[in-house]
Amino acid sequence: MYALIKMLSDRVPTASVLVNAALSAIVPWIVYTINRALHRYGDPAWKRGEQTGEKRNEQGTE
């Protein structure tokens, strides 16, 4: 039993590896969230229409 526990404990990643793995997911998500908020509040109205897929000139009329 001790040998099994010793073998499993040798395979568990260190704390720094676990922290870095978590940060590799959290940091891009935070950047994405901040970027989305900045675009929501900072983009002009004509650009917000393009983001939602609306086209200003769908039928060829102006």
Is pLDDT above 60 for 58?
no
What pLDDT is attached to residue 9?
A: 86
Write out the chain in H/E/C secondary structure. CHHHHHHHHHHCCCHHHHHHHHHHHHHHHHHHHHHHHHHHHHCCHHHHHHHCCCCCCCCCCC
Q: How confident is the model at residue 62 (pLDDT cuts 50, 70, 90)?
A: very low
pTM score, two decimals?
A: 0.58
Condensed to tens digits (0 to 9), the pLDDT of residues 7-50 reads 888 899 999 999 999 999 999 999 999 999 999 988 888 887 76
Q: Is the pLDDT of residue 54 over 60?
A: no
What domain range includes position 27? 1-59
Number of structural domains the chain divides into: 1
List CB contacts of 21: < 8 A, sequence separation 6 or more: 13
Tokens 């970027």 correspond to: 35
Q: What confidence score (pLDDT) does residue 52 get?
A: 54
